[in-house]
């Protein structure tokens, strides 16, 4: 589904952030990227979505064997790539219902009937324990951290993407909210078995609920080790200090 091949990325100030990163994600797989702060994990998520603050100096990003480097953010979203942001922004004056209807129409390429739309949103909102009133509120305006993250997952459930990138979804969520959010993601995967996850996180807590097939450790802008879920458990006990070289399963190559 997604192939990242030896990607080198610079910021606008020409500072290099990612160094020859490679990762391959097949349909239905769960991948996790872990690593210390400032190592490039969130940058990779933004690069996959086509964020204008970053430039791919070399390498390729392929979606079903076709390059997406020239595609804009909205074009990548229409392909089925979805990013749940680490810090979802507020947009005053644009209601959640207006945003969701517009986004759904864009993804489907046709208008969505109001009855169908309301049924979709009501069901998804109930499953996330979101009050019905949130639909009429401005996007994330005066939302708590947990509500903002739930709103991201609501968008996922409505837009039905094929690749879901979760950028530190667990930050700002209490234990109960994390369980609800992860259960909704797992239910979505059961209903859409071809959908894949890329989870970016510092901690293994979220991976207890969404168990990854592959765990990648990133340090200094490079993936330095890849293995299965046992690698996340090892990091939880030992930290990142001892992770220096590629010693795990070299699936990325």
The CATH number of whichever domain residue 212 belongs to comes to 3.40.50.300
**145/157 Cα distance (integer angstroms):** 19
- Of 14 and 172, the one with more pLDDT: 14
Mean pLDDT across the chain = 89
Helix then strand then coil, in percent of the chain rounded to 5, is: 35, 30, 35
Structure tokens at 50: 């086509």
- Residues 6 or more apart whose CB falls under 8 angstroms from that of 226 comprise 214, 215, 216, 217, 246, 248, 249, 250, 251, 252
Instruction: Please give the pLDDT value at position 245.
Output: 46
- Of 230 and 137, the one with more pLDDT: 230
- Judge whether residue 112 has pLDDT over 60: yes
Q: Coil, strand or helix: which one is 68?
A: coil
Instruction: Please give the pLDDT value at position 30.
Output: 97
pTM metric for this prediction: 0.89
- Judge whether residue 95 has pLDDT over 90: no
- Judge whether residue 237 has pLDDT over 90: no
pLDDT digits (tens, 9 = 90+) for 202-225: 888 899 999 999 999 999 999 999
For residue 27, tell me if it sits in a domain: yes
Reference 35, options 163, 223, 237; nearest CA is: 223
Instruction: Please give the pLDDT value at position 252.
Output: 38
For residue 159, tell me if it sits in a domain: yes
For residue 243, tell me if it sits in a domain: no
The tally of domains found in the chain comes to: 1
- Average pLDDT value for residue range 94-116: 87
The strand order across the sheet containing 16-25 reads 16-25, 2-11, 54-63, 66-67
- Judge whether residue 248 has pLDDT over 70: no
For residue 247, tell me if it sits in a domain: no
Range of the structural domain that residue 155 is part of: 2-238
Task: Write b or e for each residue in 17-35: b if 16 or more Cβ atoms lie within 10 A of its Cβ, otherwise e.
Answer: bbeebbbbbeeebbbbbbb
- Integer-rounded Cα Rg, in Å, for the chain is 18
The confidence band for 48, taking pLDDT boundaries of 50, 70 and 90, is: very high
| CA torsion angle 222 228 247 38 (round to 10) | 20
For residue 87, tell me if it sits in a domain: yes
For residue 182, tell me if it sits in a domain: yes
- Judge whether residue 15 has pLDDT over 50: yes
For residue 54, tell me if it sits in a domain: yes
For residue 251, tell me if it sits in a domain: no
- Judge whether residue 96 has pLDDT over 70: yes
- Judge whether residue 93 has pLDDT over 60: yes
Instruction: Please give the pLDDT value at position 244.
Output: 63
Reference 201, options 136, 253, 134, 149; nearest CA is: 149
pLDDT digits (tens, 9 = 90+) for 22-42: 999 999 999 999 998 888 999
Q: What is the DSSP string of 14-48?
A: --EEEEEEEEEE-TT-EEEEE--TTSSHHHHHHHH
């Amino acid at each position: 589904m997604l192939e990242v091949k030896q990607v080198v990325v610079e910021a606008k100030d020409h500072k290099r952030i990612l160094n020859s990163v490679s990762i391959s994600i097949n349909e239905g797989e769960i991948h996790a990227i872990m690593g210390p702060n400032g190592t490039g994990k969130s940058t990779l998520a933004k690069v996959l979505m086509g964020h204008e603050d970053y430039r791919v100096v070399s390498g390729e990003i392929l979606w079903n064997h076709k390059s997406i480097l020239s595609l804009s953010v909205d074009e990548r979203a229409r392909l089925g790539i979805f990013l749940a942001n680490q810090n979802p922004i507020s947009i005053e004056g644009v209601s959640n219902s207006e945003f969701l209807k517009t986004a759904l129409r864009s993804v489907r390429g046709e208008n969505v009937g109001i009855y169908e739309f309301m049924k979709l949103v009501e069901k998804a909102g109930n499953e996330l324990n979101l009050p019905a009133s949130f639909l009429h509120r401005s996007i994330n305006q005066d939302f708590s951290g947990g509500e903002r993250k739930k709103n991201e997952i609501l968008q996922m459930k409505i837009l039905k993407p094929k690749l879901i990138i979760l950028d530190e979804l667990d930050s700002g969520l209490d234990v109960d909210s994390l369980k609800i959010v992860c259960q909704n993601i797992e239910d979505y995967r059961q209903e859409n078995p071809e959908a894949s996850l890329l989870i970016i996180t510092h901690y293994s807590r979220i991976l207890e609920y969404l168990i990854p097939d592959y765990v990648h450790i990133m340090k200094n802008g490079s993936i330095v080790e890849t293995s299965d879920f046992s690698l996340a458990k090892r990091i939880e006990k030992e930290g990142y200090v001892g992770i220096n070289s590629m010693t795990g399963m070299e699936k990325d190559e």
